[in-house]
Amino acid sequence: SNRGNILVNGPLCDALYRVSKKDKKQSASDHDSGYPTSVKRKDLIERWMDRMDNGHALVEMPGSKILHLGRGEANPVSIEVEFRQGNKKKFLTRVRGMEEYGIDAESLSTEVSNRFACSSTVETNPVGRAALKRGRAELVFQGHLSEELTALLTGDEKLSSHGGAKGSDYCLPKNVIKVTLRKGVPARKKR
């Protein structure tokens, strides 16, 4: 009868308040007397959102075509900067995981080397590093290009002062790009 409350029937009650067998064993002493018969709308929405799993969708934007729909977080594009062997002033930038988003490794390698005037290599079987899945590649670029690559892949030219990041066709969300600076690699100063 109260406008803010919602009556909770059997299936809805089970979906919101059912305790898994694992949780029952852990909280055997904290046994509840029963389930509620009505709850406030706000509490129902909060409880419903808490019970849902995270998910992600990869969408091709002109046309909104769903390429991939999955549970959990989207696979990240990892950008890793490390010292080049033998010299403390030169860096290597490694990129993995771009194939998940429909980006071809060879074309990205060529585009980055042209835009940022650096050498690039496409490795399908990196030696001394974690193995790649079949059909995946790791790009290796000369120099500390974490900001430039983030700006290029997200399409946000404000992230880098380098002119090569302008006019990018890529549009990855910023939260899927994970930048790792290896030991001793300084963070770049914001300009």
**174-190: average pLDDT:** 82
SS3 128: coil
184 has a pLDDT exceeding 60: yes
pLDDT cut 90: percent of the chain above it:
21
What are the residue ranges of helices labelled H in 27-98? 41-51
Tell me the two tokens of residue 92.
């290597």
Residue 172 tokens read as: 């990855």
Confidence of residue 28 (pLDDT cuts 50, 70, 90): low
Question: Which pLDDT value is given to residue 85?
Answer: 74
- Cβ(44)–Cβ(28) under 8 Å? no
Average of pLDDT values for 37-55?
A: 87
Question: For the whole model, what pTM was predicted?
Answer: 0.71
Label residue 140 by pLDDT band (50, 70, 90). Answer: very high
What are the two backbone dihedrals, phi and then psi, of residue 7, each rounded to the nearest 5 degrees?
-75, 135
